[in-house]
Amino acid sequence: MKTSERLAKVSRLAVLVAVLLPVWAIVPATPAQDLQVELCDGRDEDRDGSVDEGCPRECIDARAAGPEQLINPADADAATGKDRSLTWDGNGYGATWSVLDGFDSQVMFRRLGPSGRPLGAPLPVSVMGPAESEPVIAWSPTGYGIAWSSEDFGLPRIFFAFVDATGALSVNPLQVSSPSQDGQRPSIAWDGEAFVLAWSWYNSRIHMRRVTPEGTLLDDESCITCDDPSGAGRVSLAIAGDLIGYAYSDGHGAIRYAESDLMGVPTGPALDIVVGNGAGLPSLVYGDGRFALAWFDRRKPGEEEIYVNRVSPGRVLLGPETLISSGQHYAHDPSITWTGEEYLLAWVGGDDPGYELYLDRLSPEGIPLGTTRSFPASSRPYSRGTLVWGGARPAFLREEDEFVAPRLLHLRLLDCCRDDDGDSVSWCDGDEDDGNPESYPDAAELCDGRDNDFDGQLDEGCAGSCEASAWVASSLSGTQESTTVSLATRAAAPRAFLAHVDETSPGIRLVLARGGPPWEHNPI
């Protein structure tokens, strides 16, 4: 065989090896296609009783990850970003919001990459109408379910649409609530088979209905709180296997909790969480065998505070309630999520004139962990926001000041600056090799071929030469040595690697040989 032909074979083989070996590193993660795939999202997709196994599940040191991302384009004629909701799909985010343009509004959707970068243009989900508002979103293994309230000079109604995993609208707006009944302030969750929608009816009742990703209504509309004369305002729901939990504010400034099965049949009377304190905006999440709910509270005159309590399935109040925010004039719009290990709670608060995002960690027992973190807005102050756990870090979708137009929508990503190698220096603090406890800024330099102290130099102070006998050329019978040899060292112990093309067997086979003291051929 001619030398040129042999080199061509080597080149083709090298390309093949280079393509195949790192496939795991270059192919992006894809969303789960069935319930057997566990996503890093604080939910139990595979229904084995454990959440996010194999995923990072703590956020000990949360910090802002770069500037906020603008989600909706600025439009001088529109007050954008009104009402908003966010979900994590295992590979990125889905965001929905309502655009107000003059006297009409419209529900929009946009996919976002794991870095928060918008993917494609915003997608109109609803028609432009007098009151297309209060959109909420949830992820299923095949796409995004979106629900919202729609009013056309009559009773507001609840609508649903489905956007597939590619960001295309596959189910056009479908009315879910009964034609003769009111529907406002919806909440949505995925139960493993269908989307569960709950909403309040004329500030007095909570109704529920399920709908599949294909747009099929599974059950009749059911009333969850028809036996509760105190009424119902905003509702937040969470799924625990075959049980649905509901946290809601009533007509007297109280927070209550109720449960139903997947058919919408209540399992018992509602439970009082807090009574008569001007409380509202409950946020409910399920994790570690219990529900946790957060709300804002006006029990102190002239102040708003954030509280948290927990309920076990069966409507058993675990308590005691925990005061989260303190010493701030304003604390509003709490949003709680479960990471698989702990709760994360975000809210908007502070003192006039500017409000910030605040974040707290809580143990499964509801005990605060560490100190409260605050994150100022990169543009106009925070108004309201939604927190989700994005696989390995939190994400917060927030509106700008609600009294100023245009009302833009931003995504704030937070980094969980973990110290994976236990050297007390996280990658956020400059540890570029957080898998090696001997490498961090200002570390002692070791003779290991690494830049342990990250000063741009390798093995300074180490012996820089290697006295050894000459290389002993070696080859295997029926093989052709390549013309390229690469040498690497580790801790002053050199190793040489030599590639061969084996032409004795059918096809072409790459043989890798290794040499080292005493410089004898050592095939791998």
Could you report the per-residue pLDDT of 390-414, keeping only the tens digit for each? 888 899 998 876 666 667 888 999 9
Q: What is the pLDDT of residue 50?
A: 65
Task: Decide if 220 contacts 236 (C-beta within 8 A).
Answer: no
Query: Using a CB cutoff of 8 Å and minimum separation of 24, what contacts does 119-127 make?
Result: 119/92, 119/167, 120/167, 122/72, 122/73, 123/163, 123/167, 123/168, 123/169, 125/96, 125/161, 125/163, 125/169, 125/173, 126/150, 126/159, 126/161, 126/173, 127/173
What is the residue type of 187?
Answer: S
Q: What is the pLDDT of residue 499?
A: 55
SS (H, E, C) 378-446: CCCCCCCEEEEECCCCEEEEEECCCCCCCCCEEEEEEEECCCCCCCCCCHHHCCCCCCCCCCCCCCCCC
In the sheet with 93-101, reading across from the earlier edge strand, the strands are: 79-88, 93-101, 104-112, 118-124
Q: Kindly state the tokens that stand for 169.
A: 């609208």
Q: What is the pLDDT of residue 6?
A: 43
| Residue-wise pLDDT tens digits, 92-132 | 999 999 988 878 889 999 999 988 889 989 999 998 888 88
Q: What is the pLDDT of residue 24?
A: 28
Give the C-alpha separation, 14 to 1, whole Å: 19
Q: What is the pLDDT of residue 377?
A: 78
Q: What is the pLDDT of residue 214?
A: 96
What's the DSSP call for residue 53?
T
Q: What is the pLDDT of residue 454?
A: 61
Q: What global pTM score does this model have?
A: 0.76
Segments in the chain below pLDDT 50: 1-35, 465-483, 485, 487, 489-494, 516-524
